[in-house]
Amino acid sequence: MAVITNIEDLRVLAKKRVPRMFYDYADSGSWTESTYRANESDFQSIKLRQRILHNMENRSTATTMIGQKTAMPLAIAPTGLTGMQHADGEILAARAARDFGIPFTLSTMSICSIEDVQKGTDGHPFWFQLYVMKDRDFIERLIDRAKAANCSALVLTLDLQILGQRHKDLKNGLSAPPKLTIANMIDIATKPRWALGMLGTPRRQFGNIVGHVKGVSDMSKLSEWTASQFDPALDWSDVEWVKKRWGGKLILKGIQDVEDAKLAVSSGADAIIVSNHGGRQLDGAESSIRSLPAIVEAVGKQIEVHMDGGVRSGQDILKARALGAQGCYIGRAFLYGLGAMGGEGVSKVLEILHKELDLTMAFCGHTNIENVDKNILLPGTYPKAN
């Protein structure tokens, strides 16, 4: 592809270059995928007001998220198996985020470990996402490792106590590294760039887990351990325990309901992420952008509100900001760039999103992201608080 101008171009290229099971893992939702699709399509139904004859010079998209300066209201979301979209994927994405000036969030279920990313970014601070599992001793040590790596925020995911059914993962027999079945070997043979990259790295398993959990020294025991470890008994008291153990900035991910947002405020967290896990958990749930206004109205003055789900353009970032989100997160968008072109692809994603955000903000009559509000949106086209 000679000229890449948008995120869709990178998605098409990633689909050609990444083995099917890992591409499908990134680009799918649970059950009928209705919420996965709504996350994106509901952004498209929101229309913008074009304004003219405003001075468009000296524009700025710079802002903060939990007090940290960012080049635009955007962070890279935690995504599992990132290092299976491209060799050393988490390190490459973290470097791209660092160089652009936005936060990168590392998943518990990453291929590259906390320590790998710290070393690969020369000690630059990043955020770490935590799943609370039954093995509390392991979780305590994982939190301590994040502290030691100078992680500047902890993102606690709350909507994965049990795993939503994702049909494509089941049909593809998802595993890391992929099982050497005939179908997988044929598929990988058609993805030589991916295969050569994987042959050149030792990072092909869950780096935060293997070697750090008793009885899990290799991948043969990992799936059994993981299946038994997600904790369906997780409750708000566990949030208090994590907050105390961590002691730093805490962001709660997976808030979709106003009542849960109010409980998040009571927990003492610094921010919440309005999120339905990218449509990968409860299919039929409301899209994140439609859930956002009611949550902002209920708690926005008491806690910082972020959102993820369906962000594919700079216009989406602007719309979310207009509806009260201090910042957004991208998951699939950066994975498309990573799968298509490695670290260069992630940088390309950020450049595309920033340009779209900057130009759209100007067309809507603003030169500073801090002044953007719902007045840039066409009345009757955007969701309102109930």
328-339 CB burial, b ≥16 within 10 A, e <16: bbbbbbbbbbbb
Ligand-binding annotation for 326, yes or no, is no
Query: Is 166 marked as binding a ligand?
Result: yes
CB count, 10 Å around CB of 244?
9
Closest among 41, 2, 96, 101 to 312, alpha carbons compared: 41
User: Active site includes 366?
Assistant: no
Among residues 86, 167, 277, 366, which one is catalytic?
A: 277
Rounded Cα–Cα distance for residues 115 and 109 (Å): 14
On whether 309 is known to bind a ligand per the annotation, the reply is: yes
Closest CA to 156 of 116, 105, 207: 105
**336 assigned ligand-binding residue:** no
Give the CB-side neighbour count of residue 77, counting CA atoms within 13 A.
28
Q: Is 372 labelled a binding residue?
A: no
157 is in an annotated binding site: yes
Is 23 labelled as part of a ligand binding site?
Answer: no
Length of the chain: 386
Two tokens, residue 266 = 């009571």
The whole-angstrom separation of Cα 226 and Cα 80 is 13
Provide Rg for the chain, Cα atoms. Answer: 20
Cβ contact 303:265 at 8 Å: yes
Reading the block at residue 74, the tokens are: 């955007």
Q: Which of 319, 327, 316 is nearest to 8 (CA)?
A: 316
Judge whether 155 is annotated as a binding position. Answer: no
Asked if residue 59 lies in contact with residue 358, where contact means CB atoms within 8 angstroms, the answer is: yes
CB atoms within 10 A of CB 268: 12
The reply, when asked if residue 280 is annotated as ligand binding, is yes
DSSP structural state of residue 31 = T
Taking the CB of residue 64, how many other CB atoms lie within 10 A of it?
13
Nearest alpha carbon to residue 200 among 63, 88, 331: 88
> CA geometry: angle at 105 spanning 100 and 110, to 5°?
120
Q: Is 277 annotated as a binding residue?
A: yes
Can you state the percent helix, strand and coil of the chain, rounding each to 5?
45, 10, 40
Residue positions forming the annotated binding site for FMN: 78-80, 107, 129, 157, 253, 275, 308-312, 331-332
List the binding residues for glyoxylate: 25, 131, 166, 277, 280
Q: Which residues participate in catalysis according to the annotation?
A: 277
Q: Please state the residue numbers annotated as binding site.
A: 25, 78-80, 107, 129, 131, 157, 166, 253, 275, 277, 280, 308-312, 331-332
